A and B are shown apart, each in its own frame.
Chain A
Amino acid sequence: MAVNREDERRLACGRELLPLVDQVAEALPPVEPEHQRTCPHCQAALGELEDLWRQVRALAREEIVAPDRMRYVIRRIHEGLAAPPREVRLEEVLPRLVQHAMLETDRGTTRIADSVVARIVGQAVRGLRGVHLAGRPSAVSVAVSGGRVTIRLPLALRYGLGLAETSTAVRASVIERVEVLTGLVVDAVDISVEDVFGGDAG
């Protein structure tokens, strides 16, 4: 038996069924109030839909208790959404890539790891009075390119020392140590003073 889908959606009076569904479900005003008041087909359909929808509403009101495991998962999702996003720094998750400075000779290359330069910088600073590295020793940043190197150095300075003279002394000492021990040319030593110690600073 062929069923005409169009016919299914129409009542015997020729009115469409779907607007009546909306009228009941969404509580919309009737499209044709005059016709509906007198049409038995529309009345019957509305009555059936009301009945059906009452059951749907009752079902929706029913409190559903999620299983414990599900509640736990939902709670974690809510916690995750509520927590402030944590900043993950790339260097925390990636293994550090070692860069090498290169010194060419006629029978092979000498390569010096940036971390080796950083350790020499650390040793140079250790030998000085009134300053130490701020943060962890790995805070020294070394950029190598061929036979040249640029150094960024976070320092803590003893309270009372002049910044200008101290950084000049640190810079000279770092350049001397690195150039003598590695044979590399130091292009720049950028010093940032990030902490003060001694005096009232503790």
Chain B
Amino acid sequence: MAEEPRRRRTTSEAVTAGEEVSPLAAERGATRIADAVVTKVAGIAAHEVPGVYALGGGAARAVGTVTQAVGMSARAAQGVAVEVGEREAAVDLTIVVDYGESIPRVAQEVRENVIRRIEGITGLSVTEVNVTVDDLYVPGEEEEAVARVE
């Protein structure tokens, strides 16, 4: 994870220090992006990629279903963790991939789409997108498991 200083500084401070100024820093006022926004964008971007069945691992999904039911979290936020600095962001994603898809290909497409969307929407530069695949979705297998239990 790229470490970015968390302390907020004014644009003039950064300019005086001769540092590269965030694309969001304007001459008269700064624009801040909440972590939750980056998280949401990353989640939606990951969902856009074919072969991504869901976000989150098995347990995270189960918990997510509950929090979703009580309106506590957006669907896109499950399985997404972000670290947002002034100019950069790093993303950790956990996805469930459809069985039969190439996992590295899906992961790479997720990575590229997440980078494209976050950079396009927020102007932040994305240093890395780590993708973890903890589960696969095999059509018909869950029904079968249920049938065995009954």
The residues of A with any CB-CB pair to B shorter than 8 Å are: 98, 100, 103, 105, 107-113, 115-116, 119-120, 123, 180-183
Contact = CB atoms under 8 A, between A and B. Distances in A.
Interface string B97-140: 10111111001100100010000000000111111111110100
A119 B136 contact: yes
B115 A107 contact: yes
B109 to A, nearest CB: 11
Kindly state the interface size class of chain B when it binds its partner. 20 to 34
Nearest to B135: A116
| Central interface residue in B103, B111, B126, B130, by most chain A CB within 10 Å | B103
A107 B111 contact: yes
A49 to B, nearest CB: 74
Interface of B: 90-91, 97, 99-104, 107-108, 111, 115, 126-136, 138
Contacts, number: 69
A148 to B, nearest CB: 14
Which 6 pairs from chain A and chain B are nearest by CB? Answer: A183-B104, A108-B128, A110-B107, A111-B132, A108-B129, A108-B130
B103 A100 contact: no
A107 B109 CA distance: 12
A180 B104 CA distance: 9
Nearest to B132: A111
Contacts of B91: 108
A67 to B, nearest CB: 46
A107 B130 CA distance: 8
16 contacts: A100-B132, A105-B108, A107-B115, A108-B129, A110-B103, A110-B107, A110-B108, A110-B130, A111-B133, A112-B132, A113-B133, A113-B134, A116-B136, A119-B99, A123-B138, A180-B102
B130 A123 contact: no
Nearest to A100: B132
A163 B129 CA distance: 45
B134 A110 contact: no
Contacts of B134: 98, 113, 115-116
A110 B138 contact: no
Contact of B102 (A100, A111, A113, A181): A181
Nearest to B94: A111
A62 B82 CA distance: 77
A29 B38 CA distance: 96
A43 B102 CA distance: 102
Given A180-B102, A183-B104, A107 B131 contact: no
Nearest to A98: B134
Contacts of A180: 102
Contacts of A105: 108, 111
A181 B99 CA distance: 8
Contacts of A98: 134
Contacts of A181: 99-103
